[in-house]
């Protein structure tokens, strides 16, 4: 989602495109011996030309430095916590309180300070695909692990571009949030 709503020249979308390109090269070259025609079609769609063939490429070598066990464990725990959030979202969706996850404002209360530290520098709203999200430490008497997920209807109006429901959109003629206004303003004319 970040590659869509941020400006194309911003660092996060460029980083996302680099990761997607690396994944594409890995998958297509690694599976070419098994799925010959499918991978050839994927390759020539991306790199057209008579001399272009996935079967003329070397297997994509992943750098050893990319293996980071601590990072894997961090995101494993974040995914577990996100699963609790998405479960709570589904319950609210079933109750017809929200229609889409972007209509939700999430509050995630954690009893473990280590879990709270996982979200330093991260945006839970982006991870959980909601309009807003807050992560906080629960009361001292909360049970260990996940303490509570609270879902409310996000306040504000829906951005016409990213569809997040944000207060900053209310009353604007453009119907765009701050981030989308900046991203659209940075687009170059065709």
Q: Does residue 2 carry a pLDDT above 80?
A: no
Give CA–CA dist 73/75, Å, rounded. Answer: 6
- % helix, strand, coil for the chain, step of 5: 50, 15, 40
CATH number, span 69-154: 3.30.2320.20
* Residue 190 confidence class, pLDDT cut points 50, 70, 90: very low
Within the chain, all domains assigned CATH 3.30.2320.20 are found at 69-154
* CA 21 distance to own-chain centroid: 17
Across the range 151-163, mean pLDDT stands at 94
> For 22-56, what is each residue's pLDDT tens digit?
999 999 999 999 999 999 999 999 999 888 899 99
Q: How far is CA 1 from CA 50, 113, 119, 130, 182, in A?
A: 34, 28, 18, 11, 16
If 0-12 CB within 10 Å is exposed, 13-18 middle and 19+ buried, where does residue 104 land? buried
Q: Which residues pair with 165 in a beta bridge?
A: 158
Percent share of the chain, pLDDT over 90: 63
Give the pLDDT confidence of 134-149 residue by residue, as tens digits: 999 988 776 676 778 9
Selection from 147, 139, 143, 142 nearest residue 85 by Cα: 147
Q: Rounded to an integer, what distance in angstroms lies between the CA atom of residue 102 and that of residue 104? A: 5
Q: Distance between the two ends of the chain, CA-based, in angstroms? A: 23
Cβ burial 34-50 (10 Å sphere, 16+ → b, else e): eeeeebbebbeeeeeee
């Amino acid at each position: 989602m970040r590659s869509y709503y941020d400006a194309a020249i911003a660092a996060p979308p460029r980083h996302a495109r680099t990761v997607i390109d690396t994944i594409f090269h890995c998958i297509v070259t690694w599976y070419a011996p098994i799925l010959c025609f499918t991978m050839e079609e994927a390759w020539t769609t991306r790199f057209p030309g008579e001399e272009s063939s996935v079967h003329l490429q070397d297997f994509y070598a992943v750098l050893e430095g990319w293996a980071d066990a601590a990072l894997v464990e961090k995101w494993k725990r974040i995914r577990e916590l996100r699963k609790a959030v998405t479960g709570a979202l589904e319950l609210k969706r079933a109750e017809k309180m929200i229609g889409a996850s972007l209509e939700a404002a999430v509050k995630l209360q954690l009893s473990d300070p280590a879990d709270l530290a996982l979200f330093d520098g991260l945006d839970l709203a982006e991870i959980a695909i909601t309009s807003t999200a807050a992560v906080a430490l629960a009361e001292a008497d909360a049970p260990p692990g996940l303490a509570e997920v609270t879902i409310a209807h996000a306040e504000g109006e829906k951005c016409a571009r990213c569809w997040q429901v944000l207060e900053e959109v209310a009353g604007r003629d453009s119907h765009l949030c701050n981030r989308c206004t900046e991203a659209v303003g940075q687009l170059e004319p065709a």
